[in-house]
Amino acid sequence: ESAITRPKGYNVSFHCNPDMEKHHFGMTHPMKPWRLTLSKSLIYSYGMSFAMDNYISRAATYEELASFHSTDYLDFLGTVLPEPVPRDLENQNPDLKFNLGGSDCPLFDGLYDYCSLSAGGALDAARKITSKQSDIAIAWGGGLHHAKKAEASGFCYINDIVIAILELLRFYPRVLYIDIDVHHGDGVEEAFFSTDRVMTVSFHKYDPHNFFPGTGALDDNGPKNEHNPGAHHAVNVPLNDGITDEQYDMLFNSIIGRIVEKFRPSAIVLQCGADSLAGDRLGRFNLQVQGHGACVKFCKKFGLPLILFGGGGYTPRNVARAWTYETSIAVGCQDNISPVLPQHTPWRDQFRQDTLFPTLEQILGEPRQNRNPQKRLQEIVQHISEQLRFVQA
Ligand code: TV1
Ligand code: CA
Ligand code: ZN
């Protein structure tokens, strides 16, 4: 008998499209849309689809994409052809149009479909929220936070998050955007730099010269000119290698707790990039599935309309574990699911260990050195508390 039953008094919707998952960025490229298939297969193996409304998301229309992106950019994106020879990391072309076609943002087969499907899922999630059919909407195929109005960046071509938040703003006065991807959420931050209706908060590895994208310092809080209502509405939490669950939980709870109190958002959008997990191919942190999921738990507790997006995540087995655990938190069955992966899970050998919660030792062998002294984390909380004095709901 399944421990997962309805009703719960609130509704969770799940938005995905298998057509998105079949695209390939190139053999050695870290972004693998297939990780979405692996995640979904684990979520379904646990039986969680029975506790959610499941939707195959549609592709976003040109007009929907144009709510944020420039038509010049979209027209080019819609007509460029895949390159015959994929580039490698050393083969960066300095004069790319709209930054398309380099090694980070290659031109692959079906690129425009991939982008419009990601944005379509994000928009479907936003509309389920605004129509009050969902209290929590999940779109693991969204979360592509680096894309700019007229530029691709860091594996992201279309900023589905910005498009979804613009939709929320038609109904809600204030939206809180939180980004736990290991990279700085620069595209979303920039898009809302000049409004006080969106507060953006990104936790990320910060090392301006050695880690992408190099922005997101503690005191980058939005253009501070007299006439900019968006000043102080960008919060940045710059971190170093090796941060642990305990430290991250302390930071997240104290920072987000204060922000919700002060900013009083009407809805929360949480980008759950899974490259902040220990053992990620591109990440540098020591977070475990439990610590990553604790952020979702904390956000859910406010009882505000909530959207969960994916984002980065480059070790597919860890991505699938995190997004499965986070789906269980959304549904509210996290204490009833087995920590042992279901026997019938497809691709079960991909997971290496048969647990949903591998230890740091199982993931890494030797854990990465923690370069986040407690004193520095206290300074960060202090700075943000002072910044929030300028914010009013
Ligand atoms: C092709 C093949 C592309 C192998 C890219 C890692 C590759 C990277 C590759 C890579 C890689 C980055 C930069 C350098 C900017 C460039 C989805 C000119 C082993 C949300 C995007 C990171 C993260 C971009 C996206 C970064 C997200 N790191 N192998 N590329 N300079 N780009 O540093 O936030 O997770 O690494
Ligand atoms: Ca981030
Ligand atoms: Zn990332």
pLDDT category at 82 given cuts 50, 70, 90 is confident
183 has catalytic annotation:
no
Residue nearest to atom 13 of ligand 1 (CA): 212
Peptide bond into 7 cis (omega under 30): yes
CB distance 280 to ligand 1 below 6 Å: no
Interstrand relation of 53-56 and 267-271 (parallel, antiparallel or unpaired): unpaired
**For range 220-237, the mean pLDDT:** 91
Distance 203 CA to ligand 2 centre (A): 4
Please give all residues whose CB falls under 5 A of ion ligand 2, grouped by chain where several chains appear: 179, 181, 185, 202, 204
Catalytic-role residue among 69, 145, 184, 233: 184
Which tokens go with 159?
A: 């900023």
Q: Per residue in 118-128, pLDDT tens?
A: 999 999 999 99
Give the model confidence (pLDDT) of 139-167 as tens digits: 999 999 999 999 999 999 999 999 999 99
Q: Is the CB of 204 under 6 A from ligand 1?
A: no
Specify the pLDDT at position 367: 81
pLDDT at 88 over 60: no
Pairwise CA distance, residues 308 & 353, whole Å: 26
Asked if the model's pLDDT at residue 90 lies above 60, the reply is no
3-state secondary structure of 309: strand
Helices (H), 228-288: 245-263
For residue 277, give the amino acid letter.
Answer: L
Q: Does residue 157's CB lie within 6 angstroms of at least one atom of ligand 1?
A: no
Predicted confidence at residue 3, as pLDDT, reads: 61
Distance, in Å, from the CA atom of 255 to the CA atom of 138, rounded to the nearest integer, reads 23
Residue 385 has pLDDT above 50, yes or no: yes
pLDDT tens, position by position, 21-41:
999 999 999 999 999 999 999
Does residue 227 have a pLDDT over 50? yes
Calculate how far, in angstroms, residue 275's C-alpha sits from the geometric centre of ligand 3.
6
Beta bridge partners of 307: 137, 269
What is residue 5's predicted lDDT score, i.e. its pLDDT? 65
Atom 4, ligand 1: residue with shortest CA distance: 29
Is the shortest distance between the CB of 273 and ligand 1 below 6 Å?
yes
Return d(Cα 254, Cα 187) in angstroms, integer.
25
Extract long-range pairs of 34-37: CB within 8 Å, 24+ residues apart. 34/316, 35/313, 35/316, 35/319, 35/320, 36/140, 36/141, 36/310
To the nearest 10°, report the CA torsion of 107, 108, 110, 114. -80
- CA of 290 relative to ligand 3 center, distance in Å: 19
Structure tokens of 34? 């297939």
Q: What is the mean pLDDT of residues 316-323?
A: 99
Q: Is the pLDDT at 91 greater than 90, yes or no?
A: no
Burial label, 253 (beta-carbon count in 10 A; 0-12, 13-18, 19+)? middle
Ligand 1 pocket, mutate which of 104, 155, 182, 315 (most atoms under 8 A from CB):
104
Mean predicted confidence (pLDDT) in 205-211: 98
* Any atom of ligand 1 within 6 Å of the Cβ of 212: yes
Q: What is the mean pLDDT of residues 240-268?
A: 98
Q: pLDDT of 156-198, one tens digit each?
A: 999 999 999 999 999 999 999 999 999 999 999 999 999 999 9
| Measured distance CA(292)–CA(248) in Å, rounded | 9
Round to whole Å and give the CA distance between 355 and 333. 17
Q: Say whether pTM exceeds 0.95.
A: yes
Helix (H) / strand (E) element for 79: namely: helix 71-79
Give the mean pLDDT of the chain: 95
Q: Give the number of residues written for the chain.
A: 393
CB of residue 30 inside a 6 A radius of ligand 1:
yes
- CA 13–ligand 1 middle distance (angstroms): 31
d(CA 393, CA 389): 11
- The CA-atom distances, in angstroms, between 201 and each of 172, 232, 249 are 18, 11, 15
End-to-end CA distance of the chain: 47
Q: Check residue 85 and give its pLDDT.
A: 57
- Residues in a beta bridge with 193: none
Q: How confident is the model at residue 208 (pLDDT cuts 50, 70, 90)?
A: very high
pLDDT tens, position by position, 327-341: 999 999 999 999 999
pLDDT > 90 in the chain, percent: 91
CB 37 within 8 A of CB 18: yes
284 within ligand 1 shell (Cβ under 6 A)? no
Q: Please tell me the predicted confidence (pLDDT) of residue 349.
A: 97
pLDDT classification of 252: cutoffs 50, 70, 90: very high
328: Cβ–Cβ under 8 A, 6 or more apart, which residues?
46, 48, 334, 337
